[in-house]
Structure 1
């Protein structure tokens, strides 16, 4: 059984067809890239998968269950986590508390426990803190855990956002332009980080990215969107040589 299937998924906003008959199958453990020019519909795919927008037509299926009508928090609880093109952190909170905040839906204590500070409350808070600190250690952020998230350098904020996604214990990780704003050195470190977390956390990864060097070095296969429709699928080498892809990016026909 596939981990995720998008079956002829379309998303319309009034008369605008942002996504048309989109089909994608992700098997467990894959690392797949979703690429295309600006406005091609890539982030709409992520929004439909995560329940931000339900599909106008078609089905999104997670481990055999249709999730069209699920809310974003429910889909997160089912094992889908994402990062965003524009970093979304609690910038006035500490690095540690940013990670702890997403763990509280599974805290295991009730309101009375938190008011009275019962042993159960103390035990679970300690366990969640230890888990959050372990994630920060893996992201090379442990020494900055008490700093405000907004004070971190850009690349460190990106790593913190990935740490927060991992804190939800996902099966499927959606990364929306994780290398945006990074310099070449940071991009190289990010490639190794994504490979590391994919292996260590037994993840399936779907990646949107404009940095072609990252995509070609990291992804096992690629899906290319243009104007909301898939125009190509294949390995990085096949996509690099595809005339339709070159035309979409360059804006003109490429001679055979």
Structure 2
């Protein structure tokens, strides 16, 4: 680490003193100057100069105080964000998903966002989820089949959009079964009856090639809770690059540690565990 020289230390100290006491010093100097002119009853045409100095010091103080408050607020915000990003993966992913929903203007209790990464078996595992609705934010269904659901569809087609899904639950169930080849008994247990979906495959540049590493799913209870315009916003969002890092890390590291793994039990057993869905 670079050590400051005595000259640099003196310069830093002087700058700190100027920032801290400069406005007050200017105000005091202007006030003294004005007082001297008034005491001498001087009729110089420059009597307005000390008044201008006092005004400048006052403005300097107000501007500096406002800037200092903004800086303190920014530092506190960055500390909070850095603490979040330094936490477990699920917390980091939640932070990214919340920020993306806020940028899209749809961070409401009717919306949920999730990220999935592929397992060695080809199945997809959820690595993070966020919703302002505590019921929808919980996760029970961790694994998704490689050839079923909107996650698999998006993985193959890069992006997808579904809107105006039926309001009637029976009709909705049938639509999901037909569109995504999910078993009816699984669909009937889904708690969130999402009527619109926007999904995007998460790609990452590795070795000069664009490699798919995950799937982002945004879903809403509203029939038009998402729109095609969101595709461009999501594609250019800074969160997407960070999401690709999280997905890549889950594939490479968690797979070795056993956190992201292929279920060893039968598909029927896995389907009985599908109490919740992200399609």
Same fold (TM over 0.5): no
The structure with the larger Rg is: 2
Higher helix share: 2
Report 1 or 2 for greater relative contact order, CA contacts < 8 Å, sequence distance ≥ 6. Answer: 1
State TM-score, norm by structure 1.
0.25
Higher strand share: 1
State TM-score, norm by structure 2.
0.24
